[in-house]
A and B are shown apart, each in its own frame.
Chain A
Amino acid sequence: MKVIYTDSLVIGGGLAGLRVAIAAKQRGHDTIVLSLIPAKRSHSAAAQGGMQASLGASIKGVGDDEDVHFGDTVRGSDWGCDQDVARAFVNTAPKAIRQLTAWGVPWSRVQRGDRQVVINGKKVTITESDDAHGLINSRDFGGTKKWRTCYTSDGTGHTMLYAMDNKAIELNIPVHERKEAVALIHEEGVCKGAIVRDLITGKLTAYVAKATTIATGGYGRIYAISTNSVISEGIGTAIAMETGLAPLGNMEAVQFHPTAIVPVGILTTEGCRGDGGLLLDKDGYRFMPDYEPEKKELASRDVVSRRMIEHMRKGKGVPSRYGDHLWLDITLLDEKHIRKNLREVDEICHYFLGIDPVKDYIPVRPTQHYSMGGIKTNYKGESIGLKGLFSAGESACWDLHGFNRLGGNSVAETVVAGMLVGEYVADYCETTELKINTKTVEFFLEQERVKISDLLNRETGENPFKLKKEMQQIMMDKVGIFRNHDDLSKAVEELKVLNQKAKNIALRNRISSSNPELVEAIRVPKMIKLAQCVAYGALLRTESRGGHAREDFPQRDDKNWLKRTLAYWKDDNADIPEIDYEPLDIMKMELPPASRGYGDDKTTPHPDTEKREKEIEKLLKDHPGIDRIQTSELLNPVEVPERYQGKNERVGRGFK
């Protein structure tokens, strides 16, 4: 039995995982990162557009602060997020970006004086102040009141990930590459590490740790077409679920990004629209202002995606051999701007579409992009069902995003959650003794060994690649942007059948070492369960909220549905998860539910909303003269690790 011991085991080498690892290491704990791939190739690198942090240096960001960022995030989430988490997040984001600056990210900076930008289809001159010269710049993104998205051209994720991984290398943090965690080790409700398969030799090793953090990203690849990297298969999320103890939160909350290219689904950044790009239909007509006169192309992602589908359903899509699409037009931007600030987009258009975005329209369609759901944690990033298990970034339902994530809040979440959760992981390592019965380790190791040898010995059975394709098609056709009872019921039934078939996978290539078919055979049954959590959660949620849009229940229903879905997979023989709900307490909300400001508000209100509004009114009356920071402390006191406390300074405004 091969066992490796450490204090802090981190599964996943993207931004969130590395940041957690760095925090624990800096506090003196032994740390190991496991990754399927070299860490710098993680999907974090694909984030193009930027990171939200309310620095307010650019002239279009002046007046921005934590409160404005908080409001945008909560509204964006359709009031589904955890407001304690959102508050801690917005307060820490400026510190996170400033730390990354010290670690080497070459953020684009403000240039004093006039510059031409495109706003609402027109060229406008804005003038940056002398004071702001050389500070971190920001661009416009969807669903935000200010230009808050800080960026490095359109390679933001790349530069953040490189700085983070380089920091990890500086700290001598080992990244064990080409390793896949296939199960968690746990004893009496406490996680003690993971069983890990070497993707080259096929050998199984037990990594035993005080604290285990899952930071494996999203589960986008349960859909046939996704902007996600091909490794975003949700396996980390699934192994947490398979303990039967750790619930997954809001799995039905899936984001579709408005502008992925057709047919391959590669993303073109929201920065295209943020920088002035427009959406056009088959007649070259700009349709978004008809639907959303105020925010137009820069409404929240879920809203824009739905409007695009609505418009295509009216016959306004551009027909193609890959089905209908719409156009993203950035030809009105300067050539220099495109070649420099939208360079990845330029490259993608060139290599994958053979077009020049300076002259040509880009064919786009809403495409699966982000998983708001994941391992449900408390504000410390610890699973609410399995002690010692932490999660950060997209794999977690920390719950910063509720039912719709704002563009620029994902990489921001990875580094902010990484900072905060990393401190709590370090605290946990400090106060926990590692005690484990070796029989427990043997039990989990043996369980995985048997599963794999069954796969290698079975003569005939299901093809894992085919099962995966069937699952992906079910999700595309029946659990997409618009959902309804009939399709969702069918999806649930079909996934039940697939879940049974997945117990009978047989391989053609029956070797235990490096073997892509075996990798697939290990992952696909897990992915089918995740898909079922999404489909079943969506079927039960009879309302529309953020990215979860029910045609048969088009309104948000706070009265009955202001609650988080918790999916447990307690019985290994079951075909559907057990569902529970965790109510969101309006009486603790800093920002009680209201209209998001898109279309007509037909929300069914919760009786507590009015109560809380009155209470807030009274609280504010009882505390005259308090400033905005005292106000948020009064209405929404949150805990942040000591080293990340303190007010944030802004140019021209100081610490106010």
Chain B
Amino acid sequence: MSNEEKRTLTFEILRYNPQIKGDTPKMKKYEVVEAPGMTVFIVLNEIREEHDPSLQFDFVCRAGICGSCGMIINGEPKLACRTLTDTYPKGIITLLPLPVFELIGDLSVNTGKVMRQMSERVESWIHDKDAENVDLTRIEERMEPEVAEEIYELERCVECGLCLAACATKRMRDDFLGAVGFMRLARYAIDPRDKRSGKEFYDIIGDDDGVFGCMTLLGCEDYCPKDLPHQTQIAYLRRKMALGK
């Protein structure tokens, strides 16, 4: 690297602040000198600190764990914190906010509101009347190790919203639950601690806004940063719903 010429990267970023009356969306260009191991997280902070302190974006963990920093990077929904600039040989990188979500400003969108609504809609918690009466001094309920592992596999979702941004059905129909909701439901459906019946699950997702509305384009599967098995789960839920089990 030392004897190589350092690249100058061109970032084209959508700028729009709905809080300012009369502001209109526009693309703005920024140039940044590339550094080794540089991520979009590093670049955006550099732009904010050095060039334009008004630039809005969201990061929390900057380690691919919290799901805050989804954005459209050169046409694809990705987590910005773990996208390395050297992924792009031409050195031109376009950044747009995630579609589907309410825009807060520039690259910042309100994922929290949508995810809370999703959790309320699928009732994303253990349904067990006795859960509050568990005697906490006693040994916990046993669980087969592989069942715990299966639940964890489906619980690795970080609610980043990339699956919704990549979903054609969601783009057309705002009420479509989307992969994040299906995955959450599937996670509870396989959890023996959740006492909901098949019918109760069906009532949540057994319609066109639910699992039967999916067009199976599987953008969710392609762009999930946690490689969750969306395709398998959607198929599983459909079959389960159709069989009424």
Chain A interface (Cβ < 8 Å from any Cβ of B): 37-43, 45-46, 94-95, 97-99, 101-104, 106-111, 133-137, 152-153, 155, 158-159, 162, 165-167, 169-170, 175, 177-178, 200-202, 229-231, 263-264, 266-267, 321, 340, 344, 347-348, 351-354, 465, 507-509, 511, 513-517, 520, 644, 646-651, 655
Q: List 26 A-B contacts (CB under 8 A).
A: A37-B112, A38-B111, A38-B115, A41-B68, A43-B61, A45-B61, A45-B65, A98-B140, A99-B136, A102-B132, A102-B141, A102-B193, A107-B143, A109-B142, A134-B143, A158-B155, A159-B152, A178-B112, A200-B105, A229-B66, A267-B63, A344-B65, A509-B54, A516-B53, A516-B56, A648-B137
A229 touches B112 (CB 8 A): no
Report chain B residues within 8 Å CB of A37.
58, 60, 68, 112
Knowing A38-B159, A43-B61, say if A167 contacts B56 (CB, 8 Å). no
B64 touches A649 (CB 8 A): no
Q: Is B172 an interface residue (CB 8 A)?
A: no
Q: Is B32 an interface residue (CB 8 A)?
A: no
Report chain A residues within 8 Å CB of B19.
200-202, 511, 513-514
Report chain A residues within 8 Å CB of B12.
none
Please indicate which of the listed interface residues B39, B68, B125 has the most CB atoms of chain A within 10 Å of its own CB: B125
Q: Which residues of chain B from 134 to 181 have any CB-CB distance to chain A below 8 Å in the complex?
A: 134, 136-145, 148-149, 151-152, 155-156, 158-159
B66 touches A46 (CB 8 A): yes
Report chain B residues within 8 Å CB of A200.
19, 104-105
Report chain B residues within 8 Å CB of A177.
112-113
Knowing A95-B136, A465-B53, say if A169 contacts B125 (CB, 8 Å). yes
Q: In chain A, what residue has the closest Cβ to B36?
A: A321
B20 touches A509 (CB 8 A): no
CA distance in complex: A508, B52 (Å) = 9
B140 touches A104 (CB 8 A): no
Report chain A residues within 8 Å CB of B63.
46, 266-267, 348, 352
A264 touches B37 (CB 8 A): yes
A514 touches B152 (CB 8 A): no
Report chain A residues within 8 Å CB of B112.
37-39, 41, 177-178
Q: Which residues of chain B from 24 to 57 have any CB-CB distance to chain A below 8 Å in the complex?
A: 36-37, 39, 48-49, 52-56
Q: Is B85 an interface residue (CB 8 A)?
A: no
Knowing A109-B143, A162-B155, say if A170 contacts B125 (CB, 8 Å). yes
Contact of A646 among B39, B68, B137, B141 (CB under 8 A): B137
Interface string of B122-140 (1 = CB under 8 A from A): 0111101001101011111
CA distance in complex: A527, B63 (Å) = 23
B125 touches A166 (CB 8 A): yes
Shortest CB–CB separation between residue B29 and chain A, in angstroms?
18
Q: Is the interface of B mostly helix, strand, loop or mixed?
A: loop
Interface size on B, residues (CB 8 A): 65
Chain B interface (Cβ < 8 Å from any Cβ of A): 17, 19-20, 36-37, 39, 48-49, 52-56, 58-68, 82, 84, 104-105, 108, 111-113, 115-116, 119-120, 123-126, 128, 131-132, 134, 136-145, 148-149, 151-152, 155-156, 158-159, 191, 193-194
Report chain A residues within 8 Å CB of B113.
177
Please indicate which of the listed interface residues B37, B49, B65, B123 has the most CB atoms of chain A within 10 Å of its own CB: B65
B61 touches A644 (CB 8 A): no
Q: In chain A, what residue has the closest Cβ to B120?
A: A169
Report chain B residues within 8 Å CB of A266.
62-63
Q: In chain B, what residue has the closest Cβ to A521?
A: B53
Shortest CB–CB separation between residue A598 and chain B, in angstroms?
30
Knowing A40-B115, A516-B53, A649-B137, say if A106 contacts B145 (CB, 8 Å). no
Report chain A residues within 8 Å CB of B138.
98, 649
A108 touches B148 (CB 8 A): yes
Report chain A residues within 8 Å CB of B148.
106-109, 152
CA distance in complex: A479, B112 (Å) = 37
